[in-house]
């Protein structure tokens, strides 16, 4: 797995979620889902590379279970 491009965004959870929103849902994420994801990603603990990787993995997991990703319009 090479998440380097996304790990670079991990210090800014909103930017990370917005980038994945574009790639995974074509910017179809609801404002409510976006807000929930940003909060969850922000709350991922750790520091440095470990936190960056964990934030990316959390964001990807949230997208994978999101109705906005599963049911594209």
Phi, psi of 15 (to 5 degrees): -65, -40
Phi, psi of 71 (to 5 degrees): -120, 90
Q: What is the pTM (predicted TM-score) of this model?
A: 0.93
Tens of each residue's pLDDT in the chain, 73 residues: 789 999 999 999 999 999 999 999 999 999 999 999 999 999 998 888 899 999 999 999 999 999 999 886 6
Closest CA to 58 of 45, 70, 40: 40
CA 2 remoteness from chain centre? 15
In whole angstroms, how far apart are CA 58 and each of 17, 42, 73? Answer: 10, 10, 24
């Amino acid at each position: 797995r090479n998440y380097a491009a996304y790990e670079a965004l991990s210090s800014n959870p909103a930017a990370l979620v917005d980038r994945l929103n574009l790639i995974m849902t074509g910017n179809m994420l609801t404002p409510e889902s976006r807000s929930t994801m940003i909060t969850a990603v922000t709350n991922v603990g750790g520091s440095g590379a470990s936190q960056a990787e964990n934030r990316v993995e959390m964001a990807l997991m949230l997208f994978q279970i999101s109705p906005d990703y599963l049911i594209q319009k």
